[in-house]
Amino acid sequence: MKNSTILGNSTLTVNRIGLGCMGMSEFYGSFNETESIHTLHRAIDLGVNFFDTADMYGSGANEKLLGKAFKSKWDKVVLATKFGVMRGANGEWLGLNGQPAYIQKACEQSLSKLGTESIDLYYMHRQAPDVEIEVIVGAMADLVKQGKVKYIGLSEVNAETIRRAHKVHPITAIQSEYSLWSREPEQEIFEVCKELGITFVSYSPLGRGFLTGAIKSRADLEAGDFRLNNPRFTEDAIKENVKFVEVIEQLANAKGVTKAQIALSWILHQNDDITAIPGTRNIHRLEENLGAYNVTLSQADMQLIEESIPKMTTGSRY
Ligand SMILES: NC(=O)c1ccc[n+]([C@@H]2O[C@H](COP(=O)([O-])OP(=O)(O)OC[C@H]3O[C@@H](n4cnc5c(N)ncnc54)[C@H](OP(=O)(O)O)[C@@H]3O)[C@@H](O)[C@H]2O)c1
């Protein structure tokens, strides 16, 4: 299996299993800076170069963490960050913003927190409903001209938005939720990405941890965990959605690998250039997840998954 791919229209080569850093600063329970930095450094040692963050993760804390960890290692890193979801000083949610002046300021703040001169891949996190995509991408293209951003991407957009955006400035990557229990991008997005030469980046590829079998009930989640408010993690939804885990487990046991490795390998088997950014705070799981490169799924395995995994997940994604 191919471990790396060229990112969209860029000259950057990224490994197909990158590292999502969000959980190191917020959302999935407690975190520890020392452990996170060890994990980030171990990732580099293992050849991982594709790291994903956003200005809103930990209200800026996640970008600062990466700035600290990568201080003398930027030459080994392809960093993606995002703008558009505003947070207040105490983490409060302030809505979406796509105004050009805001985008300029958000980018400069991210550069300052990261302590770097340019961002490899800058995503619009979510589109503000009051600003046309052409205006937003125009502002992102200005950042490219200024040398503050190398390439641009969009997160959670539909096919039409991708086409409109791509006419203003080449879109390098599209990031959306994609995993065995979130298959919406198969309907149109994969096709548009292929046609326009855009890399697809799967976020939450482990179903926010659920597909690994690690979450069997709400009691497995710490107080304050974002998933406790997610419709897929009500006690009833968990009881239904466990069917996904059972099929994954059956395959994992037959192959002597882990459930996380099956879930990630299934994504890599969708096409030669798809990438995934599983999130983890610890070295042991990072190493386990990278083991997915060594898992081959035969046509029969893929068919078994197709036939046995329910097409409908209980609970919406958000
Ligand atoms: N564009 C967007 O709107 C958007 C939205 C969400 C996420 N993202 C990005 O995508 C990245 C990944 O998504 P995600 O973190 O939501 O979900 P994920 O990768 O599907 O799952 C992460 C969860 O799974 C656990 N985990 C990881 N490896 C495991 C393993 N081998 N066995 C058991 N549990 C394991 C992690 O816990 P531990 O930390 O304890 O290992 C964490 O709780 C994020 O870090 C973020 O950068 C983007």
The answer to whether 148 and 81 are in contact (CB under 8 A) is no
Query: Is the predicted pLDDT of residue 48 greater than 80, yes or no?
Result: yes
How far, in Å, is the centroid of ligand 1 from the Cα of 47? 19
- Read off the pLDDT of residues 236-291 as tens digits, 9 standing for 90 and up: 999 999 999 999 999 999 999 999 999 999 999 999 999 999 999 999 999 999 99
**pLDDT for 217 beyond 90:** yes
Decide if 40 contacts 69 (C-beta within 8 A).
Answer: yes
Average pLDDT of span 39-57:
98
Which atom belonging to ligand 1 lies closest to the Cα atom of 179? 20
Active-site residue, 57 included: yes
CA of 228 to the centre of ligand 1 (A): 15
Tally Cβ neighbours within 10 Å of residue 197: 14
- Angle among Cα 86, 26, 249 to the nearest 5 degrees reads 125
Q: For residue range 153-211, what is the model confidence (pLDDT) as tens digits?
A: 999 999 999 999 999 999 999 999 999 999 999 999 999 999 999 999 999 999 999 99
How far does the centroid of ligand 1 lie from the alpha carbon of residue 146, in Å?
33
| DSSP code string of 15-47 | ESB-EE-GGGTSSSS---HHHHHHHHHHHHHTT
Per the prediction, the chain carries an average pLDDT of 97
Q: Take atom 4 of ligand 1 and give the residue whose Cα is closest.
A: 203
Predicted pLDDT of residue 309: 86
For ligand 1, atom 44, name the residue with the nearest CA: 20
Look up residue 208 and give its DSSP letter.
T
From 28, 57, 102, 122, the catalytic residue: 57
The number of residues making up the chain comes to 318
For 154, residues 6+ apart whose C-beta sits below 8 A from its C-beta are 123, 124, 127, 161, 162, 165, 171, 174, 175
**What pLDDT shows up at residue 56?**
98
Mean pLDDT along residues 16-31: 98
Please identify, by atom number, the ligand 1 atom nearest to the C-alpha of residue 286. Answer: 28
Local confidence band at 311 (pLDDT 50, 70, 90 cut-offs): confident
Q: What is the pLDDT of residue 310?
A: 79
